Structure 1
Amino acid sequence: MTDRVVDLNALAEISGRMNLRKPNQQAVYSIATALYAYYNQERGEPPMESLVVSATGVGKTYILAATIEYMARVEGIRNFAVITPGRTILNKTVANFTPGHPKSMLHIMETAPVVITADNFDSPAMRAAMDDPMQVKLYIFTVQSLTKPTTQLGRRTHEFREGLGEAFYEHLHGLDDLFIFADEHHCYFSPAFSRTIRELEPYALIGLTATPHPNTRDEDMIFKYPLSAAVAEKLVKTPVIVGRRDDRRDPYTQLTDGARLLELKARAISIWCSAHQLQPIHPVMLVVAQSINEANEYAQYMESTTFMDGRFAGAILTVHSNAPDDALEKLETVEEPNSPIRIIISVGMLKEGWDVKNVYVLASMRASVSDILTEQTLGRGLRLPFGQYTGEEMLDTLEVLAHERYDDLLRRTGLMNEQLRDHRVQMLVHRDESGNTVVRRDESQGPLPDQPWQAQRPVADIPERAKESEHAWDTSPSGETTTNETTDTKGSGSYSKGSGFAIVDTDTRLEESQRIVETVRDMQPNPSLPRIELPVVKMIPVPVPFSLADITDVEPFRALGRNLARDPEETLRRKRVEATIEIDTSGLRHTKVLIRDAAETVYVQPSFLPSEDIADELVSAVVHCEAVVERESEIRSARRLVDEMMDAMGGSAVTVLSAYLETAKAKLVQLVTKEASRLARPPMENTTVRVRPFMPVRQTRLDATEDKYGAFEKGRAYAGWRKSLYEQVWFDSSPERDMANLLDESQDIVAWVRLHTNDLPILWSGEDLRRYNPDFIAIDTDNIHWIVEVKADRDMQASEVRAKMEAAKRWANHASDSKHVSVRWRYLLASEDTLRNAHGSWRNVLALA
């Protein structure tokens, strides 16, 4: 295994390609650093055992897949195993790594592990894969198949197999790089499991769970991301606990309240999806019954015409041990558009392994809300169906129907705060006073720090304002509640905020939800203003890959060698190496390595490394560079460039590089990345253009004002426009509103429109088909159609902003040059400073932008 702490370049590339959320990036980082600390600092013996705790809905499967990617790529591990507590999670995990499955992760992974299970390990194909030392294998088994040789599955894994020449369990025992993940780790606190796993002597055993077992030691957790943090950072829905003010606590009233909220949620989702041209989803209610008899009683009641006038007849699914065989099959399809299921009644079967995103109402019958908040039942409804917050409160919240009265819930707010509030844990790397690399375990209440390798990429094509949306019940970044006092936040009733949740009475919640969906109405474009004929420019990217063979001028590499050789002192200057992912104007993602002097200088006697080992290290750094596609031809080209650099260093190459190898690697990667950016060409595009009228239907918002110059409030609709195509407009930032005011009042502008996501998507990164959504279209008195983007001053020189600008200019050129388009299109990028100095004049904006 490698002796480096973390390969930041590899981790950044994996994080970007797999679109990892920040806590999931940090989890993989913590696993890698903990592994280094155990084997390099503590000199431990296998296995290295640790636990990763991540709140339900944040993406535990992504942590698993990304760790496989990293360990296979950086550490050369070829044998991974996932142990599951039962068949349900086993089937889910197999699906995650099955090509073509709707829930497969393989399309964002470079590693293509062969999945081996208790059902197929004895086949000739699997035996061939197990014998291939280069093939990455992923063994997926239930804990029972490994720990219980008395069962049929257990006998299959423990008995001698002629094709293997040994029992399968013994085959696993003989692997010196077996990396085991114990999924739902809290289920395995038994001597039998511990004994079985330890006898395998794996290289590493990483537990994954959202709810650690009460007997878990704090020091065993190398990463912990609690639910309160996930809610505060908008990675899961905000739970809204709904309790009645009156004494009606019978289950039928609770079910009716839940169904009414579900219908209002469905209406709000339909309106929002229609406005943003997205496929609508069907929200469902999950009812957790206490017994099979109770579940059947509820199902019979809700199927009848007595319940909600029969609107849910045929839409009820009951899941328990006595349910029909097809119940579980129907359960797996509840997210599909044609699924008729709207209410699911379960008896303790959906705590783990059922991961859907369209649960919007949760009713745990007769259970205390404290139990709901701390058990995994809550996690079934927390996942975000659109990938991130939409900015619409009804779409970003989970209704949790409480059996307790509202007043009782308020009195227990403090207790529930303590149940949800928790600290974070992560592994960090630092240097001690002697300059040695040290890994330490860090606990804090604060937000996760941005790592230098963190990749910034959008999650989904949903409104830009949702990415930093203000929410009615936000908690602070630390997961602490901003207030514990009862507040009237919506004007029609009492709400109380907690540490990652809100409490509201049933009547207020229903009235507020009803008011939202009834007040919203359709907005059509203003017929008195010019109609926009929008070109549809279809750009199909044809990538032009970069190769190290494209580097024909080796002088920069020889110059680097000469520069490195100029410092003959036997002084190993400590360096802090930082790596960030940047995107240049051609859309190419690349690694930027920043090398800074550390605080101290350490004097050492040089220890010489073999010349060939030095060259191998340098070649490895180059071929793992972000801009290089790792293949055999690139390794040969990298060797050519390394040889040129070392040749230019002359006789001092071994001496200098033995002392400065990490610095040399960083500088070499920096140079290769620079050359890749210089030599790369933008993706070639096969372009077609057609024209369609721009007439999307918008929906009005409840929170609206005509005060267009007052204090800016993100997400609020502003009205009273003269030249806007729509009567209400909302913005992501105050400068965007300033631009709208300027456009509306300028004598040089005849019409304008604030664009929404997918109104005008412009392909700007051919590498991964990312699209850019501009802010405005404005038509001037010369009938020039302007695409307008407003940015903060600090962002104007950002590589991503410049790349999007170039893409929009190319779009405008294609549109204007088309025979199907009769007007001229142009692009304008304006800063805050431009707006301040324009003094309300469009002509000044054109002069200054």
Structure 2
Amino acid sequence: MNRHVNNITGRLSLRSPQRQSLEVLARVCEILPLKKLNRQDAEDAEKKLKEAFPQVTDFEREFPSLCFALATGVGKTRLMGAFISYLYLAHGIRNFFVLAPNLTIYNKLITDFKERTHPKYVFQGIQDFAINPPTIITGDNYESQAITLFDQPDDCKVNIFNISKINSEVRGGKSPRIKRLSEYIGESYFEYLSKLPDLVLLMDESHRYRASAGVRAINELKPILGLELTATPFVETPKGAIPFKNVVVDYPLARAMADGFVKEPAVVTRKDFNPAGMSNDDLERMKLEDGVRLHEQVKVELETYARQTGQKIVKPFVLVIARDTTHASQLLDLIRSETFFDGRYKERAIQVDSSKTGAEEDKMIQDLLAVEATTSPTEIVIHVNMLKEGWDVTNLYTIVPLRAANARILIEQSIGRGLRLPYGKRTGVNPVDRLNIIAHDKFQEIIDEAKRPESPIRLQQLVLDPSQLGQTMVTVISKSTIQEMLEDQPQRLQDAETTNSGSASVPPRRSGSIFTPQEQKVAQVAYEVIRSYESQTDVAPTLASLQNSEVQSKVVAEVKRRLGSQQLEMFTESEQIAEVVAKTTEHVVMGTIDIPRIVVIPKDEVRCGFKPFQLNLTSLRFPVPSDELVAQKLRTGEQESISVGRGGIEEQRLEDYVVGGLVDFDDVSYDDHAELLYDLANQTVNHLKSYLKDEFEVRKVLRVHQKPISDFIHAQMLEHFWEESTGYDVEVRKGFTQLRTSAYTASANDSVLDYRQPPADKSKITQYLFNGFHRSLYRLTKFQSDPERKLAILLERDAMRWFRPAKGQFQIFFKQGHEQQEYQPDFVAETTDTIFMIETKRASELNDSIVLAKRDAAVQWCENASKYAKQHNGKEWKYLLIPHDVIAENMSLIGLAESYVEGVK
């Protein structure tokens, strides 16, 4: 191993994190058998790998797949070349399949892997490839390259495909073009690849397409190994970031910055003014102009440094991030106009987005790939979501983000595009080593984000007391007891309990099975069939209806069909299967609570608006700002002042600043409210004129402070809001729903506690897992407070069954500001005649606006669920909002319900 690792490291001049990654791959190859694995072999290999790399908790695919998370700028493309070189030289692997996230990176990868004279050629220096380089097969030429598959069987072959193109081909359940029959090879190229005994899959920027339909199709290739490379090892979802579970190497941005492999990012704003108050148009113009002014200064600094040191001259450029293609076109028109820096950038800006096709797209790609060349005229690149990752230019020095984003997104995506150093290392000259992010409206937000200990752009700080030093954290998967009973194989129950199976802190599941091993298979299939009836409300409106003889007959027939003739031979009598299905159904009914899936739809269009009113402007007063920029380095906090000239555009009327800010709100329509908007704007302008010296100062205040002025006015408008609706239709899409799986983080050293005993330190109750339940539908759970634990004691005594819902179980939504947020109650408990949805809160929080909004949404849901249940002889739903301080073990559930039930408001 060391011989090949040392040879490749020296030949490719790998950096320390790249070498570490290559060493890890070599160790992985010692553990994993590099061949196609059956299920048992795959499970054994995964177990061995987890022992060597405890941070890996799941391959997340049907084949061994590992993620190498390296910060932007460290060199993931070169690392792919190192991986391929090592697997070929050390293990004789000859077939590789490389996935690119989009067309831009796809074309770049082809150049980096194919063009031997290119400065970024990934195999430069590998002696075995100097004479006989790998054959590069792409998504565009694989049909014509088929002849090389047989004429050169021992050569290394690298297939490079664009996953975004495959995604477009598989829409609507279609098969991708790669699956079509090839006359030359007698089968599809996809079938040919899937039969290869040594195919390795490499996924560049894998977080961009991890769960896409294209990747699911590619997974059918069943490679012997998957290698994912990304700088952001998590998937962004509306519910938050979901981290990868298969990260084997993690080299974050903080370390790359500290080790000097990337530029120092600095966020830039103007001195002595509050940028949050700018209108969108004026703020964009100011940021754009300030970015170009700073760019012109950096351009001089770079040339000066190059001439002083004899280095190559680096031509910098500005990256402008637009909201969408229309916005990008508007920005391009502005930059090319005579009013923008006297037309100096008319021929120096390009637009990069998906609006281009054919010859225009080809020219766009050529212009983009040439942006590093000193002969290229391009100094401003306007893009829309095409350059988030994988675009590894070194001469990007100024970023102007004009797309709405929070600080984290700006840091992890926008900053990442400009971190690479043009000379390969830091020079010690501040302008040469600095990346400027023009963020007038996000300056303090980014500074605050950078100061957080967990921020990706600074070294993390970790303070542990001696009692915590030996702790290892594990992820505990908590399935419902019915899932544990029916889904998992009996011999694998304990292994499936945690993602770190070496932990002894989680107690074994309830011993004993109600089914024999043969019956277990039937029960599992029956459970899958039963779940398919969730959405068949006309056949099975409730769980109890599953036990009707007609439904049971249908379930038995479907179970037999899915089992097939071979598995049916295990049973001597057909009645045996019917008995297992009946027993399975009984346990599903007893081990689940009827939770319908309810959707509320407006009957007709909802009409709304604002009544005319007189503004209260007494407290509205703002100062006037300057034109000096301040740049602050995000890692060190060092500040620097930069003087620039004035810029920006002016509205024709002062009132337009106010109206422009107000129409940005989702509930304000210019067409419907124009008269009211200008009346409010006129009131505001007259108020400002009453205390400011002249119209120039009024204009400047309106321009700079447009956002808080708009917020101030809009808050008063909401007090005069009206709405008309003819009503809503309530649809029940599912009569019942499966209980969702929960996941908890816990210490491997801590024992699971009995829920009847309070922890020694109640302030740390959220860290502990609890068990010992008999009526809970989950064996393990966590509590957010000790009153919740006490309530569990009551429910164990007074309820037939209860549980703490996992996120997404109910899909109840409430309005917070202009956004819809999901609400998940604390408990659900069923008695003989009622199902209770229960929320516990501190007494001081009971009148909080968010708590009340959640209550109203939940009460309405319970009302709709009760109406549905009444139609099908089900139980009524009631919502309880219970103060923490009234929960005690001597209380009863019925007593609490009588005092704290909430009705429709």
Q: Shorter-chain TM-score: which interval?
A: 0.3 to 0.5
More helix per residue: 1 or 2? Answer: 2
Given the two structures, how large is their TM-score scaled by the length of structure 1?
Answer: 0.48
State which structure, 1 or 2, has the greater radius of gyration over its C-alpha atoms.
2
Given the two structures, how large is their TM-score scaled by the length of structure 2?
Answer: 0.45
